[in-house]
Chain A
Amino acid sequence: QQQVKQSPQSLIVQKGGISIINCAYENTAFDYFPWYQQFPGKGPALLIAIRPDVSEKKEGRFTISFNKSAKQFSLHIMDSQPGDSATYFCAASTTSNTGKLIFGQGTTLQVKP
């Protein structure tokens, strides 16, 4: 049972374009939604996170959009750069059970120069 579903599995975007990755969750108790970025041979690193009390959070070129009623959230990368090429994971957890992140399947992003 996959509690967090992520799509697409892979994504190719031209430099300067917008990359969009989507996630859907099932457990309505989830109240913390981070995105992690992973480069080959490295461990994942936190990119940006959101809580359901806001519908959008922006940090530089990265934006999370959150739709509580649809139980969906997405990552938008504006002005995508070749250095953004990596695997991106969405995740979810509850505040009472931090440390128990449930991850999506991952999206491999390639930004072409």
Chain B
Amino acid sequence: NAGVTQTPKFQVLKTGQSMTLQCAQDMNHEYMSWYRQDPGMGLRLIHYSVGAGITDQGEVPNGYNVSRSTTEDFPLRLLSAAPSQTSVYFCASSSPGRTGTDTQYFGPGTRLTVL
């Protein structure tokens, strides 16, 4: 199993450009989430999905769109990049266990710089 994969690893954008961060998992997990990590802020939830066709907003959803057409893929779209979106983005997946625990498995991250 590859686990959670993210592409690209690094990206530089100019203000106003759009792009899609890719995330895929091969563990057949129902839940997938996107977080951004900024110094001193921890990880903040952007959007999440509990299954194909179902998405919801997290703490910081503005400026980002998501869709979930398959169980495996959960792309994150930046509509019009802004310098405030410079961050490291992590995708995670999980599957509710029988005991209700929720181990989230994180991808390696995408480091995005917006100039």
Using CB atoms and an 8 Å cutoff, list the residues of chain A in contact with chain B: 4, 6, 9, 32, 34, 36, 41-46, 49, 51, 89, 93, 95, 98-106
Asked whether B103 is an interface residue with its Cβ less than 8 Å from the other chain, the reply is yes
Encode B33-68 as 1/0 by CB contact (under 8 A) with A.
101000011111100111000000011000000000
Also in contact, A95 and B100, with CB within 8 A (given A43-B90, A100-B33, A100-B58)? yes
List the A residue with the shortest CB-CB distance to B43.
A103
Chain B interface mostly: strand
What's the Cα separation between A105 and B90 when bound, in Å?
15
Q: Looking at chain B, what size class is its interface with the partner chain?
A: 20 to 34
Residues of A within 8 A of B105 (CB): 45-46
Also in contact, A102 and B109, with CB within 8 A (given A9-B40, A46-B103)? no
Contact of B48 among A34, A41, A99, A104 (CB under 8 A): A99
Contact of A43 among B48, B94, B96, B108 (CB under 8 A): B108
List the A residue with the shortest CB-CB distance to B48.
A99
What's the Cα separation between A113 and B65 when bound, in Å?
46
Q: How far is the CB of A50 from chain B (nearest CB, A)?
A: 10
Q: How far is the CB of A69 from chain B (nearest CB, A)?
A: 22
Using CB atoms and an 8 Å cutoff, list the residues of chain B in contact with chain A: 4, 31-33, 35, 40-45, 48-50, 58-59, 90, 92, 94, 96, 100-109
Contact of A99 among B40, B43, B104 (CB under 8 A): B104
What's the Cα separation between A93 and B90 when bound, in Å?
18
Contact of A101 among B41, B96, B104 (CB under 8 A): B104
- Quick check: A43 and B101 within 8 Å, CB to CB? no
- Quick check: A98 and B102 within 8 Å, CB to CB? yes
- Quick check: B90 and A99 within 8 Å, CB to CB? no
Contact of B106 among A32, A43, A102, A105 (CB under 8 A): A43
